[in-house]
A and B are shown apart, each in its own frame.
Chain A
Amino acid sequence: MLDVTDLVTAYGKIEALKGVSLQVEGGKITCLLGPNGAGKTTLMMTIAGVLQPRRGSIRLKGAELAGLSPARIVSQGVALVPENRLVFPHMSVYENLLAGAYQRHDKAGVNADIERMYARFPQLHERSEQMAGTLSGGEQQMLAVARALMSQPRLLLMDEPSLGLAPLIVAEIFNIIAELNRDGTTIFLVEQNAHMALQVAHQFFLMEQGRITFKGTPGQLAEDEVIQRAYLGTRRAAG
């Protein structure tokens, strides 16, 4: 569904992505693991159009996304749940959801979707008039997911949804991820929590220092090796 080929993104002279190629299959959960600074968030921001790639292509069902504005990419059916959630702190939960549906013009459909989000995330329903900045970390994460879903994405990108959350909440978030996938959403997930990620993922990639270094299915590599490489990188693991 998503084909990334030889993608290079740089901050000034420093290349954070040094030719990344990977594929995300439709209807599946694909996971990207790697140590800090490997370029995972850069990759997500580049696919979403917030960062512009220097080279390479990003194709969604054959249509080129590289070079498009973030707004155009959203209209192509890609939504990103950003790292650290980034909810609009001084807007109510309801308004945050409305903002997620910014590009839609079917008022009835948007309202129906907001009701569906409330049904899926009851905490959000209870707090619909509360300012998003006053929610707990887990609630903000759910809001960020719901906000992204409001644009009716074909492909949902998630950048470290478990970051800074308590283990119980993390389990809940991963339940939601599996559930969304069962309902037909393709998910491409960046995670530090390799253990949880390998439980839900259909396939995964390892990324180290701006390059993809492994591609496979969760059973293919022993979990401790994945964890070692995901947290420490190959070079230090070998030494």
Chain B
Amino acid sequence: MDLLDLIDTIQSIADGVLFGTTYALLGIGFTLIFGVMHKINLSFAAASIGAAYASLLILSAVKAPAVVVFLMAAAAGGVLGGLVYLVGFKFIPLANPLATLMSTVGLLLLIDEIIVHTTAGVPLNYPALFSDVIVPIGPFNLRGDLMFVFVLGCVCMTVLLLLLYRTKLGLATRAVSQQPTASQLCGIGIMRVNILTFVITGVVGGIAGAMTGAAIGMLSPLLSLPLTVKGLIVTVIGGLGSIPGAIVAGLVVGGLENFFQFLRGVSERDLYIMLLLFAFLVFRPGGIFTVAAGRD
């Protein structure tokens, strides 16, 4: 391996880490919902892609700049999050762990089908920001659109952490996730916290969906299943219920994925990510930071 190969390797890892913020956001979404409800919402990544699709509707009406499209995706994500709670959780008996798993798988398929039928399954172009900017750092070139995705992802995570640890709503959310009965006795409305968690994670998911579209340059219904799998892998590697874990795991999975794609090609890369998941499940099932912030 000569110097040029090395530079290319590092370049691909860096690109992967930048894109990994998308995985981190998806992982946070899965983890937050698991935190408050102790349930997996399998439709989360599909709803995120759905929100990105919905944001394209505004482009069919007016010629809006990319920023507006991103904001639309966030808003649509919030609405979809609320709908997912209403359809997939509110009227489903929570005592049965499989019931909500089934209802969210159903929602995943439903969202996918809606996308396929409204777009005839043809991929649609997604606007990117700063796609013509390239920042050279020494021998490396950082793509402007990926840098934007990375910065947006970091801003999102910062806002989310501030929300969780500096506001009353965040206090209530953590209280519900740690001790649901006691939080009721403190006068916290569990249903309200649950709905808000779904809406907020929906907004985050919508932004992640838009970031995916912007980084790849297009949206396809084929994205939702791989993103669901990646989001779940990130959640498990980061540790169910751990937000810092989801962030780190998202960046690591993003970087490694691109690394293996560079070394072994696109058809093999997921194999190695699966092996990584396998290694974690066997040797460190609690995730990177082991102590999950879930139920005591």
Contact = CB atoms under 8 A, between A and B. Distances in A.
B232 interface: no
Given A71-B188, A89-B296, A102-B188, A82 B178 contact: no
Interface in A168-198: none
Contacts of A48: 184-185
A103 B168 CA distance: 10
B185 A74 contact: yes
Give the one of A70, A75, A82, A133 with max B CB within 10 A.
A70
B103 interface: no
Given A91-B175, A102-B172, A86 B186 contact: no
B185 A82 contact: yes
Interface string B169-186: 001101100110111111
A69 B293 CA distance: 27
B139 interface: no
Interface in A82-122: 82, 86-91, 95, 98-100, 102-103
A80 interface: yes
Interface residues of B, number: 18
A88 B183 CA distance: 8
A147 interface: yes
A48 B185 CA distance: 7
A53 B174 CA distance: 29
A148 B185 CA distance: 8
A69 B189 CA distance: 8
Contact of A50 (B168, B178, B184): B184
A80 B178 contact: no
A70 B182 contact: no
Contact of A102 (B179, B187, B296): B187
B179 A50 contact: no
Contact of B187 (A86, A98, A103): A103
B115 to A, nearest CB: 38
A43 B28 CA distance: 39
Contacts of B184: 48-50, 70-71
Interface residues of A, number: 27
B183 to A, nearest CB: 7
Contacts of A148: 185
B114 to A, nearest CB: 35
A99 B181 contact: no
Nearest to A147: B186
Contacts of B296: 89-90, 133
A98 B293 contact: no
A88 B175 contact: yes
Given A82-B181, A86-B179, A91 B174 contact: yes
A2 to B, nearest CB: 17
A86 B181 contact: yes
A91 B177 CA distance: 11
Given A102-B168, A103-B187, A87 B182 contact: yes
A141 interface: no
A99 B188 contact: yes
A27 B79 CA distance: 49
Contacts of A147: 186
A99 B186 contact: yes
A79 interface: yes
B123 to A, nearest CB: 43
Contacts of B183: 88, 99
Contacts of B171: 91, 95, 98-99, 102
Contacts of A100: 186
A87 B168 CA distance: 17
Contact of B179 (A74, A89, A151): A89
Interface of A: 48-50, 69-71, 74-75, 79-80, 82, 86-91, 95, 98-100, 102-103, 133, 147-148, 151
29 contacts: A69-B189, A71-B184, A71-B189, A74-B186, A74-B187, A75-B187, A82-B182, A86-B181, A86-B182, A86-B185, A88-B175, A88-B179, A88-B183, A89-B178, A90-B174, A90-B293, A90-B296, A91-B171, A91-B174, A91-B178, A95-B171, A95-B174, A99-B175, A102-B172, A102-B175, A103-B187, A133-B296, A151-B186, A151-B187
Given A50-B181, A70-B187, A102-B175, 10 more contacts: A49-B184, A71-B187, A74-B186, A74-B187, A79-B185, A89-B179, A90-B174, A95-B171, A102-B168, A102-B188
The 5 closest A-B pairs by CB, nearest first: A74-B187, A86-B182, A70-B184, A103-B187, A89-B296
